[in-house]
């Protein structure tokens, strides 16, 4: 279950009633989640990739092997 928007404050899964947090130990009142979902936007990474002159040169002229798709530009439309 994703604890997001209206489910942010829930401490248990709605469906299976599993706890969101690990059992308390001697860490005080700090709650530690079992899992965390991290989101990394792909757009800035692709922009940085294609800003490199080395990457763009390879996309323009790469080794072509007959009968083997080395790059998506080798495929049929």
pTM of the entire predicted model: 0.44
What tens digit of pLDDT does each residue of 3-43 get? Answer: 889 998 999 999 998 999 888 776 667 788 888 888 889 99
Domain boundaries, the chain: 1-61
Average pLDDT value for residue range 43-71: 70
What pLDDT is recorded for position 4? Answer: 87
Q: How many other β-carbons are positioned within 10 Å of the β-carbon of residue 13?
A: 13
What pLDDT is recorded for position 1? Answer: 86
pLDDT of 56 over the 70 cut: no
What pLDDT is recorded for position 6? Answer: 93
């Amino acid at each position: 279950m994703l604890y997001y928007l209206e489910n942010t404050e829930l401490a248990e899964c709605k469906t299976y009633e599993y706890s969101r947090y690990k059992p308390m130990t001697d860490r005080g009142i700090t709650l530690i989640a079992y899992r965390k979902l991290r989101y990394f936007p792909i757009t800035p990474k692709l922009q940085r990739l294609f800003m490199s002159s080395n990457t763009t040169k390879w996309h323009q002229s790469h080794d072509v092997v007959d009968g083997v798709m080395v790059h998506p530009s080798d495929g049929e439309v």
